[in-house]
Structure 1
Amino acid sequence: MKFLRRGDASKTDDLADETSADPVGESGGAADASDRPAATATAGKGRPTPKRRDAEGKRRGPIAPAPMTSKEARARRKANRGTRADRKAASADRRAAAADRRARMLAGEDKYLLPRDRGPVRAYVRDLVDARRNLVGLFMPLALLLILTMFLTPAVQAYVTLAMLVMMVFMAGEGFLIGRTINRRVRERFPDDTSSPWSLGWYAFVRASQIRRMRAPKPRVGAGDSV
């Protein structure tokens, strides 16, 4: 900052005269500010902006300090779990809810099914598979039989293995026929369906290869029924 000396008093007077003679100045900022219309000024809200937790209606309490020892941490976890009766009641509720969801899933309710089983097309495919007796359904029992023959003599194992290979060839041929039949029936019932023929055929083959009592969802039609 530059200070004026005593001998510069005349310069100070000259500067004051120039300012009074030209109040606007070269930039004209004061005149422009006075000439602006009052409507262009932004009106305020008239109230402070509320905090987020106040706007959401939440009240946050103080955060508990971290436990200093493992004993204190165990005591805090035990206190948060509640009493033994409360834990047993909560566990019983969870088991009941899980059993209810499983029962609804086995009954075929679309809301509780896996994504691969949802939709009227997949339900129709399951009905078509469940309504017929398939040779592919012997896949799991034959696989169990093959495991048991590993403890027999080599001669018996050779005969069983050969029989298993022949059965596998027949089951593969039946799986191909099941896929073609399922796709044809689905196209007739749901002409606007865009599912892949391969995915529908594989879904039907996997369903047919399972033991009837172990299928999920449970079969809605009996063997031999018309669909």
Structure 2
Amino acid sequence: MSSNSLVGVKFLRRGESNPTTDTSSVEAGGTATVEDKSVTLSKGRPTPKRREAEGRRRGPVAPAPKTSKEARARRKSLRGSKEERKASSSDRRKEAQDRRARMLAGEEQFLMPRDKGPVRGYVRDIVDARRNLLGLFMPLAVVLIFSMILSPGLQAIVTLAMLIMMVFMITEGFILGRIVNRRVRERFPDTTERPMSLGWYAFVRASQVRRMRAPKPRVSAGDSI
């Protein structure tokens, strides 16, 4: 039996790969040739998680303070200098004042949720254009309470006067609610606002002193709306 060119060729078992060759071919004549193929080597370590990668980018985490003195010092360093804190506080105060001024001026994006929308703006105009007895309730109530304190003998009279004021207030609030709802339905027939909600909104605004209403009135008393 004659020998062939397979002498010296190492045969691999199942599942084993040759570290130096990937594929082999036999040319005519029996000579084995080897074709090299580039092999991508593994990193040798698992891919880091996103949290770990972000932690490395931020840098090492400072150790926890061991004493209360160290904790106070760290809080002080994080707050910044006194001048920086004053500047930051001044900026926040100016920003709050600017937002309040714009809210009082009636700018839509700065209004509270209860005041937003053309329907609520129209209700405010109706109330502000009227001369309401409801606006006199708080000043008169304060006067009556002080009168009762200064002269306890007037307690019965003051109590009766406050009951009469409450009757007038409830009556006017009911009439105002009907007027507001009727005019709103005429101006905004597709509105989804509930009659009770609009009536209460008008009642609360009418019971406030005109100068203390927010947003500020856009119309004068007696104007036609």
TM-score bracket relative to the smaller structure:
0.7 to 0.9
Q: 1:210 maps to which residue?
A: 208
Q: 1:185 maps to which residue?
A: 183
In terms of fraction of residues, the more helix-rich structure is: 1
Contact 2:148-2:154 at 8 Å conserved across structures? no
Q: 1:198 maps to which residue?
A: 196
What is the rounded CA distance, in whole Å, between the counterparts of 2:151 and 2:70 in structure 1?
63
TM-score of the two chains, using structure 1 as the length reference: 0.74
SS of 1:224's partner is coil
Contact 1:131-1:226 at 8 Å conserved across structures? yes
What is the rounded CA distance, in whole Å, between the counterparts of 2:53 and 2:107 in structure 1?
41
Contact 1:53-1:59 at 8 Å conserved across structures? no
**Counterpart AA for 1:152:** L
Q: CA deviation at 1:53?
A: 5.3
Q: 2:125 maps to which residue?
A: 127
Percent sequence identity over aligned pairs: 74
**Counterpart AA for 1:161:** T
Where in structure 1 are there 5+ consecutive unaligned residues? 1-47
TM-score of the two chains, using structure 2 as the length reference: 0.75
Aligned residues: 182
SS of 2:147's partner is helix
**Counterpart AA for 2:199:** G
Pairwise CA RMSD: 2.3
Q: 1:159-212, CA deviations, whole angstroms, 9 ceiling, x for partnerless residues?
A: 222122112111111100000000000000110101110010000000000000
Distance verdict in 2 for CA 1:55–1:219, change over 3 Å: farther
Q: CA deviation at 1:158?
A: 1.6
Q: CA deviation at 1:225?
A: 0.7
**Counterpart AA for 1:176:** F
Aligned 1:60-71 pairs, distance under 5 A: 60-71=58-69
In the alignment, structure 1 residue 110 sits paired with structure 2 residue 126? no
Aligned 1:32-181 pairs, distance under 5 A: 51-52=49-50, 59-181=57-179
Q: CA deviation at 1:50?
A: 7.5
SS of 2:57's partner is coil
Distance verdict in 2 for CA 1:204–1:96, change over 3 Å: same
Q: 1:222 maps to which residue?
A: 220
Q: Which has the higher contact order (CA 8 A, sep 6+)?
A: 1
What is the rounded CA distance, in whole Å, between the counterparts of 1:181 and 1:49 in structure 2?
71
Q: 1:5 maps to which residue?
A: none
Contact 1:110-1:119 at 8 Å conserved across structures? yes
What is the rounded CA distance, in whole Å, between the counterparts of 1:221 and 1:151 in structure 2?
38
What is the rounded CA distance, in whole Å, between the counterparts of 1:55 and 1:121 in structure 2?
53
What is the rounded CA distance, in whole Å, between the counterparts of 2:202 and 2:106 in structure 1?
16
Q: Which moved more, 1:178-187 or 1:147-156?
A: 147-156
**Counterpart AA for 1:143:** A
Contact 2:145-2:158 at 8 Å conserved across structures? no
